[in-house]
Amino acid sequence: MKKEEIMVNSRHKRTVNESPSLDKVGFCEDGYSDVVEAKNKKFYIGVRFHPESLYKIDDNMNKIFEYFIETCRTYNKRGK
């Protein structure tokens, strides 16, 4: 999203402590990671919030879904 701040609706208390294959890239005010990603994959993110509940009121959430759909289309065209 390339944003410093986004609206989230965190409902979960679990968090990723350490994982060598995941990068913590987004944090909430309590310091826990709200977003992780695997940079060695074309599309691999994990979020601790619910973008499907926010997409109607925050266009940033749509970017997650739009990028996922575009990645799937590109991947499917290559036949892999």
pTM above 0.85, yes or no: no
Tokens representing residue 40 in the block: 């060695």
Q: Mean pLDDT over all residues of the chain?
A: 85
Of 67, 6, 2, the C-alpha closest to 41 is 67
Q: Residue 79: which pLDDT band, with cuts at 50, 70 and 90?
A: low
- At residue 39's C-alpha, the angle toward residues 38 and 42, to 5°, is 95
Ordered by start, the domain boundaries in the chain are 1-80
3-state DSSP of the chain:
CCCCCCCCCCCCCCCCCCCCCCEEEEECCCCCEEEEECCCCCCCEEECCCHHHCCCCCHHHHHHHHHHHHHHHHHHHCCC
| Mean pLDDT, rounded, for 50-77 | 90
